[in-house]
Amino acid sequence: MQRNRELVNFLPVLLLMVIGFASVYAARSEQIDASSLSYGLFFVALFVGAHLLLRLAAPHSDPYLLPLAALLSALGIMMIYRIDPELAAAQTTWLLVGLGLFAAIVIFLRDVRKLDDYIYLLGVLGILLLVLTIIVGDEVNGARLWIRFAGMSIQPGEFAKVLIIIFLAGYLNSKRELLSTTTWHLAGIPMPALKHLGPLVTMWGLSLALLLLMNDFGTSLLFFGTFLAMTYAATGRLAYPIIGGALFSGGAILAYMTRTTVHTRVDIWLNPWPEASGSGYQIVQSIFAISDGGLFGAGLGKGYLLFQSGETIIPALHTDFIFSAIAEELGLVGATALIIIYLLLSYRGFKIAIASDDGFSKLLAVGLAAGLALQTFVILGGVIKLIPLTGITLPFVSYGGSSIVANYASLALLIIISNRSNAGARR
């Protein structure tokens, strides 16, 4: 039975959570108060609740998704708690909201195919959110990703991502036959008719607009990469990723040549050292922190992350750079374990896609899994200087309400897709 397996999967997560909080507390007991350990208990209660909900509302759903997400959230709260116990309280509240939306989707939506009727509405909503960000958004580090609303900072891009994935799943599913038809060959690769490249060019234009208007390479790469992955899954035609990759490279070069923010980001990616106390400070300090972790890490709570004043050495440590903190305190071993957790989570997503029996659900699962994996790659690649740095969150781990809520919504969609196909398989 799936749910008993899930319960067993939760045991190591809860154990790790207890050990983690205890070791952070032991290492930093001078600075932090024992009452803050109650976040740990609250966390346990939340996931026991989510587990019970699934027993009732989605008994056949995938038994790995929730424990893996819980593990990531636990690690995130632990690190945030270690950086600033007050932020951990806020993060726990956002987790409550995220799991609330998760529950609502599982209980009320039940079947993702209902969304297929509203894909254009959802797609337009997604685009509007992005447009809104561009118009009223605040610039942070040169990138325009945040809007302020009722005293809160919201990252609409996180929600837009989910909405656009839903739209693309519906759209690609309905146009699948058409887009798969090939009429000519280029270097031996079957190519679709030029008139059917419309969606590709449209998405490319949207990504390019994101890049040029938001000055953010990562968000753009994430949107376009997810789109290409879904198109490839839908059509099986390599032509799309190849043409798309070429178009995207062209756009990136254009942005590099015309936008100073993009230019600076690429330059400090190539060589941050001369700018170590200026524009390259963040990435240089990130590299120092990561390398300081070595093979086994400094130990939870023992890394050199904060100044005496309590300010973080790396700006945005609890959001974009949380992985640097994890890599310093848990070492290569812990960081690799974290990467494997993400790989497992995306593996479950792709597996749910394969097991699913209708095109829309399949493509939606692919989009969510690919989106999760790509987002993880873009931010981790950025903080370890594999690719140019960009300001997006590490799913489930980074501090931030928008990110948590959007990620648990995605998780709920995967849960209900798997619940339906597993239930079908049992019948």
Q: Which residues bind other proteins (CB under 8 A)?
A: 229, 232-236, 273, 276-277, 284, 287-288, 290-295, 304, 307-308, 327, 331-332, 335-336, 339-340, 342-343, 346-347, 350, 353-354, 359, 362-363, 366, 369-370, 373-374, 376-377, 380-381, 384-386
If the CB atoms of residues 147 and 383 are measured against other proteins, the closer one turns out to be 383
If the CB atoms of residues 35 and 277 are measured against other proteins, the closer one turns out to be 277
How far is the C-alpha of 165 from the C-alpha of 123, rounded, in Å?
8
If the CB atoms of residues 147 and 168 are measured against other proteins, the closer one turns out to be 168
Strand order in the sheet with 138-140: 138-140, 143-149, 152-154
CA dihedral (282, 304, 335, 101) in degrees, to 10, reads: -70
How far is the C-alpha of 66 from the C-alpha of 167, rounded, in Å?
25
| CA triple 22-295-44, angle to 5 deg | 25
If the CB atoms of residues 44 and 190 are measured against other proteins, the closer one turns out to be 190
Instruction: Work out the burial of residue 188: count CB atoms within 10 Å of its CB; fewer than 13 is exposed, 13-18 middle, 19 or more buried.
Output: exposed
If the CB atoms of residues 267 and 292 are measured against other proteins, the closer one turns out to be 292
CB of 277 to other proteins, least distance (A): 8
Q: What are phi and psi of 149, to 5 degrees?
A: -150, 125
**Side-chain half-sphere of 169: how many Cα atoms within 13 Å?**
31
Structure-block tokens of residue 42: 């609250």
- Give kind and range of the element (H or E) at residue 361: helix 359-383
CB of 284 to other proteins, least distance (A): 6
Type of residue found at 144: R
If the CB atoms of residues 290 and 325 are measured against other proteins, the closer one turns out to be 290
CB of 130 to other proteins, least distance (A): 24
**Side-chain half-sphere of 74: how many Cα atoms within 13 Å?**
29
How far is the C-alpha of 276 from the C-alpha of 24, rounded, in Å?
30
**CB-CB contact of 279 with 264 (8 Å):** yes
CB of 292 to other proteins, least distance (A): 5
How far is the C-alpha of 35 from the C-alpha of 37, rounded, in Å?
5
CB of 288 to other proteins, least distance (A): 5
Residue 356 CA, chain-centre distance (Å), reads: 22
CB of 350 to other proteins, least distance (A): 4
Closest by alpha carbon to 163, among 201, 198, 121, 202? 121
**CB-CB contact of 300 with 82 (8 Å):** yes
If the CB atoms of residues 14 and 335 are measured against other proteins, the closer one turns out to be 335
| Residues in contact with 50: Cβ distance below 8 Å, sequence separation at least 6, in sequence order | 66, 70, 99, 102, 103
How far is the C-alpha of 50 from the C-alpha of 81, rounded, in Å?
22
CB of 405 to other proteins, least distance (A): 24
If the CB atoms of residues 149 and 296 are measured against other proteins, the closer one turns out to be 296
Residues recorded for the chain: 427
CB of 370 to other proteins, least distance (A): 6
CB of 231 to other proteins, least distance (A): 10
CB of 321 to other proteins, least distance (A): 14
If the CB atoms of residues 54 and 372 are measured against other proteins, the closer one turns out to be 372
Structure-block tokens of residue 30: 């001078």
Helix (H, G, I), strand (E, B) or coil at 186: strand
If the CB atoms of residues 61 and 346 are measured against other proteins, the closer one turns out to be 346
CB of 315 to other proteins, least distance (A): 14
If the CB atoms of residues 290 and 416 are measured against other proteins, the closer one turns out to be 290
